[in-house]
Amino acid sequence: MKCKEVFERGIQFHHYCNTAYPLRPNSLAQYEVHDPQTVYELVKKNIEAQEELCLYVHVPFCQARCKFCEYVVMDKPKETDPDLYVDYLLREIEMYREMIGDKPIVGYDLGGGTPAYLSAENLRKITESIKKFNLKDGMYLSVETTPVIAANDLEKIKVLRELGYNRISMGFQTVSPKLLESLGREGSEFIYEKAVQNIRKVGFDRLNIDLMYGFLNQTDEDFANTVKYTIAMNPEFITLYRNRYKGTQLEPESQGVTMYKVNHQYDIAYRLLQEAGYLANNGKNTFSRIPGDMGTSSYLTKRVVEVASYVGFGLGAQSFVGNYLAYNLGCADHKLEKYCKAIDEGRLPINDIADMPIQEVRAKAISVMFYFGFISLKAYQKRFGEDFRDIYASQIRFLTDSGLMQFMDEDTFMLTDYGAAHIYGIIPLFYSERSIIEMFTMSEKWLNNKKGEDIFLEKYDRKAFDAPSVAVDLVVLNKEHTKILLINRADHPFVNRLALPGGFYKPSDDTLEFAASRELMEETSVFAKVTEKNLVKVTSTKGRDPRGWIMSVAYLLELDEALVRPIANSDALYAKWVELSSLEKDKMAFDHYDIIQYVLRKK
């Protein structure tokens, strides 16, 4: 399948084509092994083959399950469950101790859920058990809490610091009371500020605050205010998490959220954070104000940059070691019974484990690498014993020719700013052939632009524009009048339809002609001065746009196709020259097909 086709489908299927691989929980079923002895031997062989490892401990408890949560969290646990869980968790860790032996441990995270939900004694037991491994000196031991716990339980936060955790992370997610309520999450400015004070009081000097974006009900203004507020809290690191929808209570809303909205909100945060001294390459989601510090835990940094193997302990935890990918029991039902039963029977508490062929191992590893927005060729060579340039020559050629990625030096293949906005089309280029077919099959069943538009319009605020609003449209022909410059829309309505470059006239625009020039530049990166002489049509039909009464003022331009290389930007997925003879009315947005035909008749 051609790179362009895979790229375009990934863009359309952006809610699923992210750094989480594979696409579905049962995607790798054909590679799974089930016999307990075979499972044990597969795990042992791969662990023993590693020079070093990362460890992750999962705590499946929270005060309440947020609607955006995709992780393994127990629903309504009993009061005795945390103590019971920790007892079995420690027994699971012991089952791996002989296999891991004295191997250097280069990263460790205590995550969840909410680790700080546990008692101080249970936190101590877990940490002491992990410290029996050969932990590398100087790495960050990272732990997660919530603002509510950090604000109300100073002693718990103090214990975490005394246990040796030197990086702590907590999620504000948003400071919008309305959005917090709709997400089922507790939070307030008082709680956030008290939490930060307590974290500083006990001596943490590596504080990360998580923020989330891309919610259907989240306005740009709400998100910008959240970013500004968080900057004022002065954490060392700020991490932006896009709401991924898949597997959450909010999944039905996903098609109402376009890639344009996601990218636009990331851009808002990127600008604000850069101005405040928080740095990251475009496409990376953790921003650091400490020079030279990636901002992430040692565990995550090793996992992403060097594709280090990691063993996950606990209910539903994931492990990716050598060639196997495994999920512990509890990953599907979020219950303790089967997890505990397996440990009682002396079996590794694994729900499913896939002995993956090299194509799947590569795909998993590279998907994770894109979490930081670049691929280290040296790390890839070390992990796989082969040259990245040889294995992915066609993908590299497509990405560099399209301006999506570039080689920064002999080691680093990085997203461009343009590529960062199209990352969800880039990642699938490195999928296995099986997974690419799966992506197309899933997307054919899932994608429904009409459904997405209905969800979008239900929440659309018509008062954001005066009635009638005025839009400008550009009919740009080549000198031979055989081709027209069109974009593919990134946002509702008519998402993924072809359209004329254009957009709303804004109060900041001096004239409609200035607005037309601005929109052409923003959407296609093509500069051309538009004057009144270019005016060809005004359309005022009220039903032409489902958002309301929006008039269109169209301008005709003629440009030399050979000298103009359009590059999509803003709310355009693509910008390209299209043969006029190939245009189809039902594949175009608004009434743009009729506008084009009118202009052609009048020439």
Q: How far apart are CA 535 and CA 556, in angstroms?
A: 6
Q: Give 79's contacts (C-beta < 8 A, 6+ positions apart).
A: none
Indicate whether 196 belongs to any domain. Answer: yes
- Amino acid (1-letter code) at residue 45: K
- Tell me the C-alpha to C-alpha distance, in Å, between residue 63 and each of 84, 272, 331, 545, 591: 18, 32, 19, 45, 51
Q: What local confidence, expressed as pLDDT, does residue 183 receive?
A: 65
Task: Based on the fold, state whether residues 257 and 320 are members of the same structural domain.
Answer: no
Does residue 451 surpass a pLDDT of 90?
A: no
Average pLDDT over residues 107-129: 95
Q: How far apart are CA 401 and CA 411, in angstroms?
A: 19
Q: Which range has the worst mean pLDDT, 95-99, 345-349, 463-467, 592-596?
A: 463-467
Task: Based on the fold, state whether residues 136 and 213 are members of the same structural domain.
Answer: no
Does residue 256 surpass a pLDDT of 80?
A: yes
Average pLDDT over residues 107-125: 95
Q: What local confidence, expressed as pLDDT, does residue 259 receive?
A: 86
The answer to whether the beta carbons of residues 131 and 123 sit under 8 Å apart is: no
Task: Based on the fold, state whether residues 4 and 48 are members of the same structural domain.
Answer: no
pLDDT category at 273 given cuts 50, 70, 90 is: very high
Q: How far apart are CA 115 and CA 133, in angstroms?
A: 20
DSSP element (H, E) containing 65: none
| Total structural domains within the chain | 4
- Amino acid (1-letter code) at residue 504: F
Average pLDDT taken over every residue of the chain: 92
Task: Based on the fold, state whether residues 588 and 466 are members of the same structural domain.
Answer: yes
368 is written with which tokens?
């994770």
Q: What local confidence, expressed as pLDDT, does residue 21 receive?
A: 94
Q: Give 317's contacts (C-beta < 8 A, 6+ positions apart).
A: 56, 57, 58, 72, 327, 328
Alpha helix locations (H) across 370-511?
377-384, 388-391, 393-401, 417-420, 423-426, 433-446, 449-459
pLDDT category at 184 given cuts 50, 70, 90 is: low
Q: Give 277's contacts (C-beta < 8 A, 6+ positions apart).
A: 289
Name the CA radius of gyration of the chain, rounded: 26
Name the percent of the chain lying above pLDDT 70. Answer: 96
Q: What local confidence, expressed as pLDDT, does residue 195 receive?
A: 96
Mapped onto helix, strand or coil, the DSSP state of residue 19 is coil
Q: How far apart are CA 280 and CA 271, in angstroms?
A: 11
Indicate whether 167 belongs to any domain. Answer: no
- Provide the residue range defining the domain that includes 543: 461-602
Name the percent of the chain lying above pLDDT 90. Answer: 78
pLDDT category at 63 given cuts 50, 70, 90 is: confident
- Tally of helices (H runs) and strands (E runs) in the chain: 22, 23
Indicate whether 502 belongs to any domain. Answer: yes
Task: Based on the fold, state whether residues 46 and 2 are members of the same structural domain.
Answer: no
Q: How far is CA 137 from the centre of its chain?
A: 31
A 10 A CB-CB count for 463 gives: 8
Average pLDDT over residues 405-426: 95
pLDDT category at 258 given cuts 50, 70, 90 is: confident
Task: Based on the fold, state whether residues 429 and 521 are members of the same structural domain.
Answer: no
The answer to whether the beta carbons of residues 82 and 119 sit under 8 Å apart is: yes
Q: What local confidence, expressed as pLDDT, does residue 245 receive?
A: 65
A 10 A CB-CB count for 467 gives: 10
Buried b (16+ CB within 10 A) or exposed e, 567-578: ebbbbbbbbbbe
Indicate whether 151 belongs to any domain. Answer: no
pLDDT category at 452 given cuts 50, 70, 90 is: confident
Handedness of CA 503, 504, 507, 512 (dihedral sign): positive
Task: Based on the fold, state whether residues 8 and 55 are members of the same structural domain.
Answer: no
Running DSSP on this structure, what letter comes out for residue 250?
T
Task: Based on the fold, state whether residues 194 and 73 are members of the same structural domain.
Answer: no
Q: What local confidence, expressed as pLDDT, does residue 69 receive?
A: 66
Running DSSP on this structure, what letter comes out for residue 588?
B
Omega before 22 cis (within 30°)? yes
Indicate whether 271 belongs to any domain. Answer: yes
Strands (E), 60-145: 104-112, 134-135, 141-145
pLDDT in tens, 579-590: 999 999 999 999
Strand partners, 168: 143, 207
Q: What local confidence, expressed as pLDDT, does residue 464 receive?
A: 66
Indicate whether 149 belongs to any domain. Answer: no
Does residue 66 surpass a pLDDT of 70?
A: no
Q: How far apart are CA 213 and CA 547, in angstroms?
A: 23
Task: Based on the fold, state whether residues 511 and 595 are members of the same structural domain.
Answer: yes
Q: What local confidence, expressed as pLDDT, does residue 441 receive?
A: 94
Q: Give 500's contacts (C-beta < 8 A, 6+ positions apart).
A: 473, 474, 475, 486, 487, 554, 592, 595, 596
Q: How far apart are CA 477 and CA 483, in angstroms?
A: 6
Mapped onto helix, strand or coil, the DSSP state of residue 556 is strand
pLDDT in tens, 474-492: 999 999 999 999 999 999 9
Task: Based on the fold, state whether residues 287 and 314 are members of the same structural domain.
Answer: no
Q: What local confidence, expressed as pLDDT, does residue 283 receive?
A: 87
Q: What local confidence, expressed as pLDDT, does residue 523 receive?
A: 93
Q: What local confidence, expressed as pLDDT, does residue 420 receive?
A: 94
Q: How far apart are CA 321 and CA 94, in angstroms?
A: 18
pLDDT category at 422 given cuts 50, 70, 90 is: very high
Task: Based on the fold, state whether residues 79 and 194 are members of the same structural domain.
Answer: no
Task: Based on the fold, state whether residues 240 and 226 are members of the same structural domain.
Answer: yes
CA angle 314, 319, 322 (to 5 degrees): 150
Q: What local confidence, expressed as pLDDT, does residue 6 receive?
A: 97
Does residue 466 surpass a pLDDT of 70?
A: no
Strands (E), 322-402: 324-328, 350-355, 374-376
> Among residues 245, 275, 291, which one ends one of the domains?
291
Indicate whether 321 belongs to any domain. Answer: yes
Indicate whether 375 belongs to any domain. Answer: no
Q: Which residue has the tokens 């700080």?
A: 116
pLDDT in tens, 533-561: 999 999 999 889 999 899 999 999 999 99
266 is written with which tokens?
């990331």
The answer to whether the beta carbons of residues 291 and 355 sit under 8 Å apart is: no
Does residue 282 surpass a pLDDT of 80?
A: yes
Q: What local confidence, expressed as pLDDT, does residue 217 receive?
A: 84
Q: How far apart are CA 402 and CA 284, in angstroms?
A: 20
Average pLDDT over residues 275-283: 93
Does residue 572 surpass a pLDDT of 70?
A: yes
Q: What local confidence, expressed as pLDDT, does residue 174 receive?
A: 82
The answer to whether the beta carbons of residues 77 and 129 sit under 8 Å apart is: no
Average pLDDT over residues 234-243: 93
The answer to whether the beta carbons of residues 158 and 200 sit under 8 Å apart is: no
Q: What local confidence, expressed as pLDDT, does residue 218 receive?
A: 87
Q: What local confidence, expressed as pLDDT, does residue 250 receive?
A: 67
In terms of Cβ atoms closer than 10 Å to its own Cβ (0-12, 13-18, 19+), residue 337 is exposed
CATH number of the domain where residue 254 is located: 3.30.750
Cα–Cα nearest to 168, from 190, 193, 189, 141? 141
pLDDT in tens, 162-182: 999 999 999 888 887 777 676
Q: What local confidence, expressed as pLDDT, does residue 182 receive?
A: 67
Q: How far apart are CA 83 and CA 513, in angstroms?
A: 69
DSSP element (H, E) containing 213: strand 207-213
> Among residues 439, 459, 479, which one ends one of the domains?
459
- Tell me the C-alpha to C-alpha distance, in Å, between residue 103 and each of 133, 134, 309, 378: 8, 6, 12, 22
pLDDT category at 384 given cuts 50, 70, 90 is: very high
Q: How far apart are CA 557 and CA 472, in angstroms?
A: 13
Q: Which residue has the tokens 């909010």?
A: 250
Does residue 234 surpass a pLDDT of 90?
A: yes
Top-confidence residue, 79 or 66: 79
Strand partners, 374: 414
CATH number of the domain where residue 497 is located: 3.90.79.10
Q: Which residue has the tokens 């699923």?
A: 16
Running DSSP on this structure, what letter comes out for residue 140?
P
Q: How far is CA 466 from the centre of its chain?
A: 34
